[in-house]
Structures are given as C-alpha cells and as structure tokens.
Structure 1
C-alpha cells in the first residue's frame, strides 16, 4: 500500500491523499473549524458568499468600505451564525489602506485562534466598476479602478498568506475575477474594469506559483453577468444592456449571487485540494456563445 493512503486526515493535503472511499462528500465541502475573511462582504456577492461559508460550518469575518452591511442580509447571517454557534463579525475597511488592513487581519487571526478555528483563507471580493468610453477615460478614475480591484486584491491575498505561513496553515485564497478578464463585453465601455480583472487572473497564477511551497492554494472565481447592486446601477443607466447580455445567455437568464455559493465553497474547501493557479468561470455559457 502506498504510504499516502495511510496518512492521517489532518488537513486538505491529507484529504487529497486519502482514497476516494474514505472521504465523505460533506468533508470535501466542509469549512468546519476554519475562519474565512471576505472583503466586499457588506453587500451583493460578498455577503452572499459569507452566508455560504457559514452554511459550510465556517466562521466568517466580513470586511467592506461601507459603514454597515446591508441590513436585511446581515440579519439573516446573524440568525445562521447564532443557530450554528459560529463566529460572525463585520469591520469597515478600505482594502487599499495596507496599514489598516494589516491591523484588521491580525485581529481576525487572534479571534480565530481564540475560537479554536484557525484563520484559513479569504475571498477577495471587494471591487468597483465604472462605465466610461476609453477615449474619455480620466486618468484618475482609471487608476482608482486598478488601485481597488488590483492592489486591494493583492494586499488582501498578501496578508492572508503572511498569516497562513506564520501559523503553518495550508489554506485557500479565492480571488473574485470576472469573465471580463478574458473577453471584451459587448455594449460596455469598461476598459479599466476589464483590465483589472485580467490582472487579477494573472496575479492568481503568479501567487499560486510562489505560495504552493507552503501548501497555500490560490484560485480565481470568474462570474458572468450577475444581478447585484453594482450591475443594477449599470442597467439603470443603460437599459439596453440587458438585451445585449441576454443574447449570450445560454440558460436564458442572468446570474444571481446564489449561483456562486457552491463554486466558492468548492474552491475554499478540501474538494479542490489539487487545484491552484486556476480560474473557475461560472458564466451561464456566455463565453461559449461569444
């Protein structure tokens, strides 16, 4: 018998080494006794993914530039956390402020240790969008998009990895990218946003190459068109976009935040323990029909 088959199941790497019959489906998608930080966790996709982590048994620290999270969604999360005996916290944070980010992540790490649920990873979901014709794009606005979507994502991943390396935890980092990192969206003048998401996908590959030696996995999740507060603002300003988007929707609908709960948990958990430096595109077939 191979030595790998007798290795005790103590972490994701050991789970991957175990025989398929010895690992339950629930264990592959469990985040029990783990703490996950989620930037952009105050509303939209981020707060939905926070609920997914709680449902998978994990503790959650939500971070967002908003003073407070969306009230109805946060109340629902509190009920889940209370019923399951899980930790749930919210902090206001600008992901481009490295000093503040360092302090907040150190606090989360300390709280996770106190809970007996070590800091395990993050979902870097914070991002902004702007629709401006490229020929008129102000330099300051273009740079702001890169600062939030690229630099903010990098700092989130960097400080997550620092804690994981310090604690000897073989964790998982999920960066929210977009199908817009691979295609040019018809009807949208969002060059800065698309550029930032392509950068996040390359960042993922580069970080995975550096941090694999520590057992840290880094992957991107690339949504297609989702109905969130951010996209609703775009559609309100340009209603004709929905018709253009639907033309490429092979499932005859746009995405909803709930469509990304299972993919995010898969990337975080042991079920994807041999997956790093990869992009998981969940776009309702949009890119297949381009």
Structure 2
C-alpha cells in the first residue's frame, strides 16, 4: 500500500491502480458513480455520446483528482457505434495492459403508449438500452480476458425492469431493463469460472435504482403533471433519490467488498417494490 491517501482507505474498497470504464458518464448517475471509483483511487474513463461532457464533469474532475489521487477521463463514444466502442475500450485497456471494471449506465427513455410505438422508436430504444449495453459488456470482457484480469461488471438496470411504473407509460424502456437484469445472470454464468488458460473470474451484477432526480426524470415531470408527487406518495420513504445515493453501491459492486457476489440484481428503491 502506498503512503498517503491510499493507505487510509478500507482495503476491500480500495481501487488504487485499477482501470475502469463508465458509460453514460457525461453527467447524472453515470458521472457520480465514476466519481466514487476515482475517490477509491481508480483511473476512470467516462464514455458518452456527447461531444463534450456536462459542466458538472469539469467540476468533478477538478475536485476529485486533487483530493483523492485517482484520475477521471472522457471520450465521446456512442454505444451503438460498435467499431468505435471496441477501439476505445481496447485503447484504454492497452495503456496499462489491464481493465478492472465496467459500470454500464448509458440509457434513454421514451414516454409513448404501446399502440403508438413505431418500429424505429422501439429499435432505437433497444439499440441503446440493451444491445449497446451488451456490446459494451462483451468488449470489456474480451479485454479482461486478454490481460487475464479478474474483472467486475455492473450493469445499470432499474426497478422498472421488475414492475410497471404507475403514471408513466414506458413499455419499451421497462422491457429493456428487464432484459438487462436477465443478461447479467447469463454473463455471470458464462464468465464466472477461471479457466485453465487463466481467463474468466469475471463477476457480473446488476444495480436497479428506484426513481432518481436526473435530467431525464425532470423531463418526465414536465411531460406528466403531478408525476413527481405521485411517485413520492408511492415510496416508503416519501421522497425520491439523488444520484449521489448510489455512489457507494457502484463502488461495492466493483470492489473486492462484493467478491462472492455475481449474477445478482441489487435493488435500491426506497422500498418502492417492497409494498
């Protein structure tokens, strides 16, 4: 253990020297989870389709690198552009010949009645929320296998993959999140065992948040009057969550603190699905 910041960390949560990728990391939930990894000492690469990250990324970059000693980087990547995605992940892993973890948080939402959905709309939603996430996970896994890293993958699903959200008509979004939960089990089964050639040992889990105050959700509130109040009343805690309340969960799933956990879906929803 190096002297300084790293020596003060709880060892099972210490990511010092590790290399991690967070998709959907330009802002919101993806960015705050990336911050948690940097605070634990990691080199973190945020990928998002925006040409430049949100202003909050710049603020986070200046704060955490100075205070915690990890590093935060940004690259423009659309998860539907598999060639660029693969090349970017390969380049990140090649620098130190390692890739330790992934948080796949890229996703979009669309409020549309099922009978009004077009083929193109459904295809776009699934291309980002499911296929793009799947391609990200497989690209990361190939890099982990190449460098024989015992990696950790966290797929961001949602409680919407378990229930139909009252007051919000999002059939394809909810279905895509249900698919992500099932995908985590399948990938955990396929990549979990360490093989004779030294590959494998990759843990894959899901994180399913409840309602979070993000730019995407704020837009929902504008589109559906009274939705915020309805969701708050349906929650055991009587409130909605902030992105920062999921930082530690992401760190837990990508650290040795969860060393015997794989193929599971961690639901953090303020009790919404426990009624």
TM-score (norm: length of structure 1): 0.88
Query: Equivalents in 2 of 1:49, 1:77: separation in Å?
Result: 13
Query: Equivalents in 2 of 1:241, 1:72: separation in Å?
Result: 26
1:248 aligned onto 2:234: yes
Query: Equivalents in 1 of 2:46, 2:95: separation in Å?
Result: 13
5+ unaligned residues in a row in structure 2: which ranges?
1-7, 194-199
Match in the other structure for 2:64 = 80
Work out which of the residue numbers 5, 16, 24 in structure 2 matches 1:40. 24
Query: Equivalents in 2 of 1:75, 1:106: separation in Å?
Result: 28
1:120 aligned onto 2:100: yes
Trace 1:46-195 onto structure 2 (pairs within 5 A).
Answer: 46-113=30-97, 118-195=98-175
1:229 aligned onto 2:209: no
5+ unaligned residues in a row in structure 1: which ranges?
1-23
Note the aligned Cα RMSD (angstroms). Answer: 1.3
* Residues 1:252 and 1:159: Cα distance change in structure 2 (over 3 Å): same
Any idea what SS the aligned residue of 1:119 has?
coil
Query: Equivalents in 2 of 1:283, 1:30: separation in Å?
Result: 26
Answer whether contact 1:34 1:59 (CA < 8 A) is retained: yes
Match in the other structure for 2:274 = 288
Q: Report the CA distance between 1:243 and its aligned residue.
A: 1.9
Q: Report the CA distance between 1:97 and its aligned residue.
A: 1.0
Any idea what SS the aligned residue of 1:220 has?
strand
Q: Deviations over 1:154-181 (max 9, x none)?
A: 0110011001111111010000000000
Any idea what SS the aligned residue of 2:22 has?
strand
Q: Report the CA distance between 1:189 and its aligned residue.
A: 0.6
Q: Deviations over 1:50-95 (max 9, x none)?
A: 1111111111000000111111332222331144333321000010
Any idea what SS the aligned residue of 2:75 has?
strand
Query: Equivalents in 2 of 1:110, 1:88: separation in Å?
Result: 17
Query: Equivalents in 2 of 1:232, 1:122: separation in Å?
Result: 27
